[in-house]
Amino acid sequence: MFPRPIEKAGPGARIGYQLLLPFVLIIWLLPLLAIFATSIRSGADINAGNVFGWPGEFAMIENYVAVFTRSQASMYFINSILITVPSVAISVSLACLAGYALAIYRFRVALPLFFLFVAGNFVPFQILMVPVRDMSVRVGLYDTIAGQFLFHAAFQTGFCTLFMRNFIKALPFDLIESARIEGVKEWRIFWFVVLPLVRPALAALAVLIFTFVWNDFFWANVLTQGESAKPITAGVRALNGQFVNNWHLVSAASLIAAIPPVIMFFLMQRHFIAGLTLGAVK
Amino acid sequence: MANVTIDNVIKRYGSVQVMHGVSVDIEDGEFVVLVGPSGCGKSTLLRMLAGLEEISDGTISIGDRVVNDVLPKERDIAMVFQSYALYPHKTVYDNIGFPLKMAKRSQSEIDDKVTKAADILDLTKYLKRYPKELSGGQRQRVAMGRAIVRDPQVFLFDEPLSNLDAKLRVTMRIEIKELHQRLGTTIVYVTHDQIEAMTMADKIVVMRDGRVEQIGSPLDLYDNPDNVFVAGFIGSPSMNFVHGKIATEEGVRVFVSDSGLKLPLPETTARDGQEITYGIRPEHIQIGPGGVEMDVVVVEPTGSETQIFAKAGKDLIDALVKERINARPGSKLGFVINPADVHLFDRASEQRI
């Protein structure tokens, strides 16, 4: 078996491995730990310069409560959900349909169209900043939730389509032909044969896009002005006053904001099944 | 049930023509095997029958209906794929019942038909399992079950046994044949294995390079092959071919090979001096005195029979005999050929004389 399990290595290597592993893990997690440590300090600690040392006083509950009392964090949080969930739903479902068409049907522009989707992913979104903002102002979507999720969906669909097309293309084509001969209508083939088989891909894609959109900071700032439509990533800034930086509160808010993608991952985990098409052919 | 007529069918991919006017008449209830080497067009023809490939020219009719422009689902056919194409996320029951469910049949009818099909195919015990929990032969039977429940006019099989091991292949061959006898539905079956073709077919269609080489019953093809290709393709081990000319020596007409080997001739219209390909099946050669003397190269005993490869000049001939022969390589044996078993072909056109 390759790689050889560590239990079978010599004692020196084993001890070295056991010593090194926690150390590497800590380095790995250091940024997260630092943020967590900051989020349970009092503001006075940070002002006094005690940024990495042992907290002078623990203010965990106060800090986390303050996030919700001193800012509109709950509103931002709901905004984030209202932006992210439709973005994921729209882009993934559109991508399934487009991916099915690109993978299964042979039509003249299938390949150029597919390359268009691929090429779209290479456009750096920063250069779209000004036109997209202009556009959203003109169609009246500036500073709205709908504006944000529509643009997110539009930006993510390209990548999702590329992903789904390749996944559907990898399914045994005999399954589709077989269903066609059996008299199954095309959309039912999509629904009853293809969709169940691409479930792991759907789950992976959903988690990925959810995380992308949830963590977005750029468009949240480009497409909003006031507070009412800001997602939590952009909203936490409000905790820093005009003249005072409340890094302990910002840290606490950041950690709260990081929770939903993690929950999403665990929710979708049971769909990540390897070998779903096992037994289909041969 | 229905007869199938394939009339002068042509297939082109862009400007490349791969099938050149294929015509086959298939009668109602017949078991027809399309056989030929890879790339001969047999699978393409089957897929055109199924409606998965377009027909460039000519017509295909199922029953009395021309189906050139009819969608696969409206052709009333069922196809068993080489890969089985089972739905991996569905149980055996749901796999077999899926076509019925999609046709919005009642649950009791689905139940009834699936149970019946499972019974015929000996799958009753496995109805709750998933395809990945089945062996190759069982998967094969599920694929057939899915075809049976729809009670189609024609069954199409695309090399259904090529993924199975040799022993299972023989069993499944018998099962498919039995199934045909029980259901009496027209079957079109594609294979590259001539033994499968010989053992199962009512009628064999031998194809090569997008053309039909010969159509006939298995024994018809074996006894009277139209050309060198069919003669060599049908029968195992395959027929011996020797190139040479016809001559008359001391009033007796004989065949003289390019390297001087003389072999007995049947009555023939071929002229003296005509270039001939001389064919004799290994199993039609006897070993004994009075035969053509040849040098033994290899002896392969299999218990039930013995295959002997022998050489004379540049000509290599093998014989398959029932007796056990103890011959050392290099020794001489007499090969007795009955002129009635000899097949003569024109050397240039490779057609039967």
Q: Express each pLDDT in A229-252 by its tens digit.
A: 999 988 887 777 766 778 888 889
How does DSSP classify residue A106? -
Contact criterion met (CB < 8 Å) for A184 and B102: yes
Q: Mean pLDDT in chain B?
A: 92
Residue of B50, B73, B130 with shortest CB distance to A183: B73
Res B243 pLDDT > 90? yes
For residue A116, pLDDT over 90 is answered with no
- With a cut of 0.85, is the ipTM above it? no
A184 vs B: CB within 8 A: yes
Chosen for mutation from B80, B89, B92, B168 (greatest number of chain A CBs closer than 10 Å) is: B89
What local confidence, expressed as pLDDT, does residue A69 receive? 85
**Angstroms from B262 CA to nearest CA on chain A:** 51
What is the pLDDT, as a whole number, of residue B2? 85
Give the H or E element holding residue B168.
helix B166-183
- CB within 8 Å: B85 and A177: yes
**Percentage of chain B surpassing pLDDT 90?**
73
pLDDT of A1: 57
Average pLDDT over residues B90-115: 93
More confident site: B200 or A47? B200
CA distance to partner chain A, nearest, from residue B20 (Å): 25
> According to the model, what pLDDT value does residue B236 have?
87
Give CA angle at B31 (B121, B343), nearest 5°. 130
Q: How far apart, in whole angstroms, are the C-alpha atoms of residue B281 and residue B319?
A: 8
| pLDDT of res. A276 | 63
Query: Which segments of chain A belong to CATH 1.10.3720.10?
Result: 72-277
Burial class (CB in 10 A: 0-12, 13-18, 19+), B294: buried
Name which CATH class applies to A72-277.
mainly alpha
Domains and CATH numbers, chain B: 4-233 (3.40.50.300), 240-346 (2.40.50.140)
State the smallest CA–CA distance between residue A185 and chain B in angstroms.
8
Mean pLDDT computed over A78-103: 95
Residues of B in contact with A179 (CB under 8 A): 98, 102
Q: Is the predicted pLDDT of residue A2 greater than 80, yes or no? A: no
The token pair at A19 is 């010593």
In this structure, how many other beta carbons lie within 10 angstroms of the beta carbon of residue B108?
A: 8
> What's residue A278's pLDDT?
66
For chain A positions 135-174, those within 8 Å of chain B (CB to CB) are: 172, 174
The mean per-residue pLDDT over the stretch A64-75 comes to 86
Question: Residue written as tokens 């023939």?
Answer: B268
Of B78, B83, B134, the CB nearest to A172: B83
How confident is residue A274, by pLDDT bands cut at 50, 70 and 90? low
Distance CA B79, CA B144 (A): 8
pLDDT band at A83 (very low <50, low <70, confident <90, very high): very high
Q: Which two tokens stand for residue B2?
A: 């229905």
Residues B14, B54 contacting (CB under 8 angstroms):
no
Interface contact B88-A280, CB threshold 8 A: yes
pLDDT at residue A194 in the model: 94
Q: Which residue of A has its CA nearest to B165?
A: A282
pLDDT, mean of residues A2-11 = 78
CB contact A195 to B (< 8 Å): no
- Determine the residue of chain B that is closest to A195 in CA distance: B89
Q: What gap in Å lies between CA B281 and CA B240, rounded to an integer?
A: 6
Ramachandran angles phi, psi of A216, nearest 5°: -65, 135
- For residue B353, the model assigns a pLDDT of 87
> What are the residues whose beta carbons fall under 8 Å from the beta carbon of B170, sequence distance 6 or more?
none
Residue type, B260: G
pTM to 2 decimal places:
0.82
